[in-house]
Structure formats: C-alpha cells, structure tokens
Amino acid sequence: MGITVMVIRGEVGTDVRFGGGVVVCRLSASAMQLLESKIRSLEQFLRSRRDKRRGLYGYVAGRGDFTGSILYGTASDVADTGRNTGKTLFSEPGESFTVNKRQRLLYTSAELAAMEVRAMECLRRLLRRSCEALFLLQLISHHHVTRLVQGLDSSLRQRLLQLTFNQLVCSEEGDQLAMQLISRLMEYYIGPDGRGTVDEISTKLREGCPSYFNESDYKYFLAVECLERASATVNAGERESLARDAFNHLTKIPETADLSTVCKRFEDLRFYEAVVRLPLQKAQALDPKTDTINGKIDPVLRDSALAQREQCYEIIMNALRNLKGEVGQKGTPKAFDTSVSVSAALDPASRNRFIRQIIQLSVQWPDTGFHEHLYRTLIELGLENELLEYGGSDLVSFLQSAGRKPLQEVQAVASVTPSPSSLRDLEAPIPSSQTKYLDLLAKYYVMKRQHFLAANILYRLAERQCTNAGEAPTLEQRCQYLSNAVLQAKSASSSGGPINSMRNTMDDDLSDMLEAKLAVLRFQMRIKEDLELMASRLEALQGSESSPIDQFTQGNQVTDAEIAKAARDKAKELALDLKSITQLYNDYAVPFKLWEICLEMLNFAKYPSDGDTKIVRETWARLLDQAVSRGGVAEACSVLKRVGSNLYPGDGACLPLDTLCLHLEKAALERLTSGVELVGDEDVARALLAACRGAHEPVLRIYDQLLSNGPALPSPTLRLRLLRSVLVILREWTMSVLANRTATTSSGVSYRFSGSLSLEQTNILNQGISDKIASAANRYMTEVRRLPLQQSQTEPVYRGFRELEEKLLTPSFRPF
C-alpha cells in the first residue's frame, strides 16, 4: 500500500491547525475496522493451519521451525539423498527418481518447499502486523489525530503526513512515528488534565497491537504516570514513594527507556538515586560483554559501544552540571532547560548535599570506565575537593595514569632502599593538560597523610619539562611546588608512629635534596631578575642618548646593545626549566659579572673543598672593584655588609677577611689621597664588623695579622690607616660590652674620655675584656710610634689609644 495514512481535511476545527486544515486518518474508522476484521480472519486461518500442523506449512511451522531448515535434514542427508540418489524428504518410502545430470536446477524441491514455508510464515506475520497497524489507527482516530499531534514539532508532523501504510507496517520510521503517537495518547490519559490511567489504555494497546506496544512500553508509561503524580503532589513522603515506584518500574527495562527525558523528571523531584542508577544499568545492558575494554574486537564495534556508554554517562554528568549551575555539555543548551531555574532554587548547602550524593552513588557502581568519566567531569566542574574526599579506590590509579607516569616509588618504599635519585625519573615531558592530575594526586596524598609520596609528586611538578615553552610553569610556580615538597618531606620525617631506620633515612635524604634544589632555584630566580634588570637598564640608556655620538661612544652603544640582548635571551632561557648550580655559575652568573650571586653559590656549594681560596678571593676582589666603580668605597662597604653577613660565619673560606680588609683599606686610602672620595676612618672597620655580625675579635685578629706582616704593608701611610681602623674597632668593642651590660644598644652608649666611671658602670664592665682591650691599645700605641711619619699625622691616633687605655685601667673612667 503506497497511500499515506494521514491527510489534511479542510474542515474547520477548534484544535490545532496544520497547513490550513486538520490532520485526520485517510480511512474512516468503520472502513479500517472492516478491513482489520478481514485481514485478521485470514491471519487466524493461517495460524490455525500452523497450530494443527495441516499441510506442508502446518507440518513444518507447527514444529517451531519458521525457516524451513528441517526440510534439508543433516549434511549427510543432503549429500546422500538430495542430489545423488534423487530422494527428498517429501518422497514416499521406497520412491526414487533419476536426476538429469546434464540439466542442473537452481533449487531442489526441498529448498523450494522451505522457501514456501518461510514465505507463508512471513505472510502470516505481515497480516498480523497489518491488523495491529489498523487497530492503532482506529484507536488514534477515536481520540482525534489533531489533538494528539499538536505536541509534535513541524518536522515530525510533516513526516507523519508523508507516512504510508507500508512504512507504518514494515519500516523502522513507522515504528518511531507510531511510538510518538502512542506517547501522545498516553499523555492524554496521564497528563495533568488526563482522563484515565495507564492501565486503561495499556490493556487495549497490548491486546490490539502488541508489536507496537509491548510489556516494556507498559512499564515505561507506568513509571511516567508515577512521575506525573509525584510532580503534582505536595507531600514530600508521598512524592518520594511515587518516585521510587517509577524507579522500580524502570529498573526492569533500563535498555529500552528514554532516560534523557525520564531522568530529567527525576532531577526535578530530587530523586538522584534514579538519575545515577538508571543510566548505569542501561550502559551495562547495552554493553553486557564490556566491549569497550576488549582490545581484540573490531575498533569500530568498540568505539560504538563506548559511544553508547558515554551517552548514558552524560545523563549523570549533566545532572552534576545542573547542580553546579553549568550549561549543558560543551556549552550547548540542554534539551530540557528547566535545570537552571531548578538549581537556582536550591540553597548552597542543599546543592552541595545533592552533589555529594551523586558522587557517592556513582562511586559505588563497579565500572572503572564510568569512574574515569566521572572524575574528569568533576575536575572540569571544579569539584576537586569533593573528588578527593569521596573518590573511589581507583582514584589514585586514575590520577597516576592521567599524569602519564605511575609512581614506582610507591612499591619501592616498602621493598627496597632506593636513593632519592631513583625516585626521580623526570626525563619525559609532562603536558600542562596533565599537570592538574598530578597536582590533585599530591593533594590526595597530603589529605591521606602520605607525606613522602606527596613530596615526590610535588618535586615532579617542580622539575617537569615541557615541549612547548608556553606551557612551562613560571619559576615562581616551581618555587611554590618545591617549597611545598620540602614541607611534606619534613612532615614525613617528623611523623609519629613506628618508622624503621631505613625509611627515616630516606625521608631525611629526600628532605635535604629538596632543600638544596629549592636553594638553587632561588639562585636561578635572582639571576633571572638581575639579567632582566641589566637588560632594561642598558636599553634605557640607549634610548635616552640624544647628544652627538662619536666613534668611541657608538662602539660602546653597540656593545651595550649586544649585552642587553644577550642578557634578555639568557633570562628567557632561565624561565624555561630548572638549571643546575654549575650551569647557573658558569653560563649565567660569571659571564654577566654577577659576582655577589657567584659568592653565595660558592658558599652554598661549600667551595673550595681542597682549601684553595684563590677563586673566592678573586671573586671578592671583582665584586668590590665593581662596587667601587659604581659608588665608591661607600658602595663597596655597603656590599660587604650585605654579602658578608650572609656568608658569616661558615668555614671562613668564602669570607677571606684579610683580602677584604686590605683591598678596601687600599682603595679608601687611594681615593682619599687623590680627593676622589671622602672616606672616613671608621667606614671600612664598621663594614667588616657588620660583615662579621658584630664579632670584634675576628676583625681585630685580621688587622693584627696584616700589621704584623711587614711586606704586605710597605706603605707607612697605609699602616697608619689600618691603625685608625683598629682604634675604631676597640672603641666599638668597648661600647658593645657596656651596652650589653646595661641592656642598651651600642648606638645608645657614648663615651667621653674625661671624668670618672661610676660605681654601677664599673661593676657592669667585664674586667677581663677591659684588660684585653687596654692591652691591645698599649700595643698599638707602640705601633704608631714606630711609623716613619710626621708627628702631626700620628699624634691623634696615638692619643686615641692612650686615652682608651687610661680610661679602661683607671677608676676615674667616665663615658665620653
């Protein structure tokens, strides 16, 4: 039948119009009833022949074989009887015939008979299906087609108008349109203004057209009816009971139910158990053999199974997005756009409670593939805390695999005694898209108090390499990772409980290694900042040059431009990844004359190990010369105070006081004599005291060594300057002792070398130190007298030592 089953009539109606008329069935209800009766009678006749096993069709089909395969017999029967002996299963006993070997038939009589049986059975089923289609059309016509199709969109209505009876009976599209009409018919009965129940209309459908409306459809619409009643009730207990009834109906038919619609209804009722369980049951029913993880099957089949599963998973993920206030997947609006208003009506506490409920229900389901899908969605929605708190037992393996490298150190801790270097396989680059998984893994270990593992993960993040420079973390981020790794390593070392010595040693080694890495990283950050500052300063100088440029100045500008470019390039290199301390020293600090950082790195590396301090002394000399060239002796003294205090006390190798003292004293005398800079007698001495953190004896000892070494000080003027500095040191020492005794600072104490010392002050001053200072003053007076200089030059220094000695040794000493 090629005619359409629906037409548009031009009658005026009160219902929805389509194309200027109303949609009705082409045949009247009486005509369809008569046609159904005749076709059903014929179908019943064929069925009775089958049931009573009459005729060939009844004999074969009555035995349950609707394909006619039993007519062929076994393979041996076919070989022995079919074509060789001329016998068939339809032959009478003893009867045979001769086969013409020259003429070969297309089909044997057995095959033709089997085809006839199959054709008869197909005809009977076609008649039965036609009867059911006519019954369905009568039922729809009775309820007015126009009323039922008014909820369909224009495309579905157009397809319905073009639907032929042949398509309705034999095609999948006919099945789909029939189900749409049945759904609208059910809504008519069970909707808010419905006129009955599901049972009333379901009985007619199951009896009249069971191929269009089966048991699964019946249970589905029972569930829909329960959901409609639950939505209409205001009683919370009754609403939950009806929702559970709907859930129970749907659990019996998860693979056939339209869950995208139903689960949205459950969301509106806040019945999230169904929102989670039903899609997972459907995923399991659609892929019972877990083809998604079967690597032996066709990839196309595996991808198809995976797509079906993910479609079910997304129903649950969209529920999470709705609660989180997100839009539908990948930014597209959802089919049911009531989620925004529903989630907005929830207070934050209720919303978080439902999110936790969904996560807990999801984790309980034993599907690793679904868990991975869930975990990725939670990370995408920013629900990391909920993920770490309620994640399943496979969360660690997921984060490890997503982070590209499983942690072999987990097993290594319990089995062997690897060094920290064996825990650091950091050669493979880690993309930024996978960094978040390792970051979450570190947080998980911290939450579970597994500090050792957390420290290793944080260390991997700090030293991770990237193929793309744009994805590389900044040095500040790496520093934060390393700082947290140090904290976790220290927590692992100090954690209580029965820890064996092997594990404790590993924790201590890891902590020391991480602290060393952090110190080197801070050097790298400082070098990068200095290089950027150097480049900016040189570029600014070039840009501000406006006067006529001679050949020499032009050459300097070219050199400065090259240095600025090189510094900028090196700074960019330092931003990419971590460098070793050897690289930082040889490739960055030394070439750009960053002597202050060079000294700190030498001190950190405990250089030199063989006692040869030549490189350290040369570096200090370059640093001081650089400072003098920039700001004179005052700047050099300031640098000495800052750098020296960081290196003191140490082992003394990186703070050669004799070299520093002699270098600065010579520079001070030279600049003072030439009139370039006015340098005070106390500047160098106080800089050395500050470098030694106020320790007077080491500084005084250095001056003693220099003054006693005649060849080192051939100039009497230079020796006199050193003696002036010694006088400053002795006075500072005396003031610091008195300040300590009186609980004040040395800056709050002043001495006047006249008058007498009070009894209280005499008791405070330590007599032993006083005698030591007085003895030194007496010795240095002799040194002053030996200088081959004019008395006018030496007298102030001599008098200073003498007054200091007298006031320290006599009871009449007073502050001056």
Question: Which DSSP category does 264 fall into?
Answer: H
Neighbours of 751 (CB within 10 A): 17
Residues of the chain falling short of pLDDT 50:
12-18, 73-101, 327-344, 405-427, 497, 547, 551-552, 743, 745-746, 750-765, 813-816
Cβ burial of 104 (10 Å; 0-12, 13-18, 19+) is exposed
Look up the pTM and report it: 0.71
3-class DSSP string for 781-807 = HHHHHHCCCCHHHHHHHHHHHHHHHHH
Q: Which residues pair with 23 in a beta bridge?
A: 8
CA 267 to chain centre: 29
In order of 34, 183, 321, 534, 769, the CA distances from 178 in angstroms are 21, 9, 34, 80, 111
Q: What pLDDT sits at residue 556? A: 63
**Tokens of residue 481, six digits:** 């990772």
Residue located via tokens 């201590």: 508
Nearest residue to 40 (alpha-carbon basis) of 126, 138, 131: 131
Tell me the C-alpha to C-alpha distance, in Å, between residue 789 and each of 680, 719, 783, 784: 20, 11, 12, 9
Helix or strand run (H / E) with residue 8: strand 6-9
Q: Long-range CB contacts (< 8 A, 24+ apart) of 586-590?
A: 588/527, 588/531, 589/527
Distance CA 597, CA 644 (A): 12
* 172-230: pLDDT as tens digits: 888 888 888 888 888 777 766 555 677 878 888 888 889 888 888 888 888 888 998 89
Query: How many Cα atoms within 13 Å fall on the side-chain side of residue 701?
Result: 7
Other CB atoms within 10 Å distance of the CB of residue 282? 22
CA–CA dist 371, 305 (Å, integer): 17
- Tokens in use for 379? 């990370």
Answer for the pair 228, 283: CB distance below 8 angstroms, yes or no: no
* Collapsed DSSP state (helix, strand, coil) of residue 697: helix
The SS3 assignment for 6 reads: strand
Task: Using alpha carbons, list the distances in angstroms from residue 368 to 163, 374, 392.
Answer: 44, 10, 10
What pLDDT sits at residue 508? 79
Residue 676 has a CB neighbour count (10 Å cut-off) of: 12
Let me know: does 145 contact 82? Beta carbons within 8 Å. no
Residues 59-87 have pLDDT tens digits of 666 656 555 555 554 334 433 434 444 33
3-state secondary structure of 337: coil
Residue 323's H or E segment, with its range, is helix 299-324
Please tell me the distance from the alpha carbon of residue 368 to that of residue 398, in angstroms, as a whole number.
9
DSSP-derived secondary structure for 717-762: HHHHHHHHHHHHHHHHHHHHHHHHHTTS-GGG----SSS---HHHH
- DSSP, residue by residue, 122-177: HHHHHHHHHHHHHHHHHHHHHT-HHHHHTTS-HHHHHHHHT-BHHHHHH-HHHHHH
Q: How far apart are CA 413 and CA 454, in angstroms?
A: 13
Give φ, ψ of 593 to 5 degrees.
55, 45
* Of 400, 252, 218, 250, the residue nearest 315 (C-alpha): 250
At 530 the pLDDT is 95
Q: Are 723 and 678 in contact (CB under 8 A)?
A: no
Distances (CA, A) of 144 to 37, 140, 172: 22, 6, 24
| DSSP bridge pairs for 25 | 6
Residue type present at position 104: R
- Rounded Cα gap, residues 287 and 294, in angstroms: 11
Q: Which residue has the tokens 């859930």?
A: 247
pLDDT of residue 450: 92
Longest dimension (CA), the chain: 159
Contact 658, 702 (CB under 8 A): yes
Alpha helices in 143-271 (DSSP H): 145-149, 154-161, 165-170, 172-190, 198-208, 215-232, 236-251, 259-268
At which residue do the structure tokens 């929102």 appear?
275
Helix, strand, coil shares of the chain as percentages rounded to 5? 70, 0, 30
